[in-house]
Structure 1
Amino acid sequence: MKIADLITWFEAWANPTWCESWDNCGWQVEPGVLQESARVLVCLTPTLAVMEEAIALNANLIFAHHPLIFSPPKSFRTGEPITEMVRLAFTHNIGIYTAHTNFDQVADGTADVLAQILELKDVAPIVPTQNGLGYGRVGLLAPFLTLQELLTVIQTRLTPPDLIFSPSVDLQKTISKVAVLGGSGASFISAVVKTGAQAYLTADCKFHQFQESRDRHLILIDAGHYATERPACDRLVQKFQSLNLDWVQLSTKDEDFRQFFQS
């Protein structure tokens, strides 16, 4: 399959025009690869390490969730990461394509994959956008779990380096309804409360957002940005494999940009 055909297929599923006004979805760098047979390296974040991996693997497309360029650069200077990424992309004929908030909304996107990992039933978007799509997912646990069991499931299946949750006087509290949203989802707390969910799995939550959730009787669970979005990248590789591409692989150089000190 040619790269042009792959992008046409993808955009029919996750249209880049659905992305938020502050976002930058679609082509970041297109150095003239549209008619080449697709050799795709999928990653969460396009970094120099991922670019070097793509070069070593002879990939011609980096397909990323996070944009390389969020806002228009004012200059390109030697040694700056974005400049080097663009230079290497043109030097080695490697395209960089991003699917961000459009990919968040669709079936088998970032939130939907989290809901599947937790085996939620009767799933619906936290905030619907169009045609049954939307941001986040909320659904039922079957069977119900205690909070301690739910935290153990999240730790086991997502393997985050750290798991933070709201103060709870009872780890044996029964949890029946859970909301999930990969990446930075604290701004959706009010919408989650309206769904009646008892627990909310997301990432990048601040101190007072945990306080807000506690005060609103919502157990906020922060598993980290990387752990909550990386599984959807793996699912995307599986979808691409079903298209019989020339070659596709999940990056091994993707990074969680946080490290936790072990005493």
Structure 2
Amino acid sequence: MKIAELISWFEEWANPAWCESWDNCGWQVEPGVLEKRARVLVCLTPTLAVMQEAIALDANLIFAHHPLIFSPPKSLLSGEAIAEMVRLAFTHNIGIYSAHTNFDQVEDGTADVLAQILELKEVTPIVPTQAGLGYGRVGMLEPFLTLQELLIAIQTRLTPPNLIVSPTADLQQPISRVAVLGGSGASFISAVVKTGAQAYLTSDCKFHQFQESRDRSLILIDAGHYATERPACDRLVQKFGFLNLDSVQLSHEDEDFRQFFT
């Protein structure tokens, strides 16, 4: 399958026109590779380490969730990360493509994969955007879990370096309705409360957002940006594996940019 054919297939599933106005979905760098047979490296974030990995693997497409370019740069200077990525992309004929907020909304996208990992039932979007699609997912745990069991399940299945959780007096309280949203999901707290969810798994939450959740009787669980979105990249590799690509791999150089000192 050619790269152009792969991108067409993907965009029928997750249309880049669905991305938010502040976002930058689609081609980040296209150095003339559309007619090449696809050798794909999937990653969460396109970085210089991922680019070097792509070069070593002889990949010709970095398929990333996070955009390389969020807003138009005013300059591209030697030694700067984005400029170096662009230089290497053209030097080695490696395209860089991003599927961000369009991929968040779809079946088997970032939120849907989280819901599947937690085995949620009767799943619906937290914020619907179009027929059957939308941001986040909310569903039922059947059978229900105690809060402690839910936290252990999240820790075991997502393996985050740490979990940040709303203070609660009762780890044995039953949890039957859970909301999930990969990446930065604190701005959806009000929408989550309206769904009747008892717990909300997301990331990048601030001090006062934990306060807000506590005051609104919602247990907020922050597992980190990487842990909540990386599983969808793995699922994407699986889906690409059913296509006629020359090769597809999940990046081993993808990074969680946070470390916890203990």
Q: Give the structure-2-normalised TM-score.
A: 1.00
Corresponding residue for residue 61 of structure 1: 61
Structure 1 distance, partners of 2:137, 2:250, is: 24
Corresponding residue for residue 110 of structure 2: 110
Quick one: which amino acid aligns to residue 180 of structure 1? Answer: V
SS in 1 for 2:259: coil
Question: After superposition, where does 1:84-123 map in structure 2 within 5 Å?
Answer: 84-123=84-123
- Deviation readout 1:216-257 (Å, 9 max, x if unpaired): 000000000000000000000000001131100000000000
Corresponding residue for residue 7 of structure 1: 7
Question: After superposition, where does 1:230-241 map in structure 2 within 5 Å?
Answer: 230-241=230-241
Corresponding residue for residue 161 of structure 1: 161
Corresponding residue for residue 216 of structure 2: 216
Corresponding residue for residue 16 of structure 1: 16
Quick one: which amino acid aligns to residue 61 of structure 2? Answer: L
Structure 1 distance, partners of 2:242, 2:127, is: 30
Corresponding residue for residue 134 of structure 1: 134
Q: CA RMSD in A?
A: 0.3
* Runs of 4+ in structure 1 over 3 Å off: none
SS in 2 for 1:111: helix
Structure 2 distance, partners of 1:25, 1:35, is: 21
Structure 2 distance, partners of 1:49, 1:159, is: 22
Question: After superposition, where does 1:34-45 map in structure 2 within 5 Å?
Answer: 34-45=34-45
Structure 2 distance, partners of 1:113, 1:227, is: 12
Corresponding residue for residue 144 of structure 2: 144
Corresponding residue for residue 257 of structure 1: 257
Quick one: which amino acid aligns to residue 74 of structure 1? Answer: K
SS in 2 for 1:59: coil
Corresponding residue for residue 176 of structure 2: 176
Residue 131 of structure 1, CA deviation? 1.1
The unaligned stretches of length 5 or more in structure 2 are none
The unaligned stretches of length 5 or more in structure 1 are none
SS in 1 for 2:41: strand
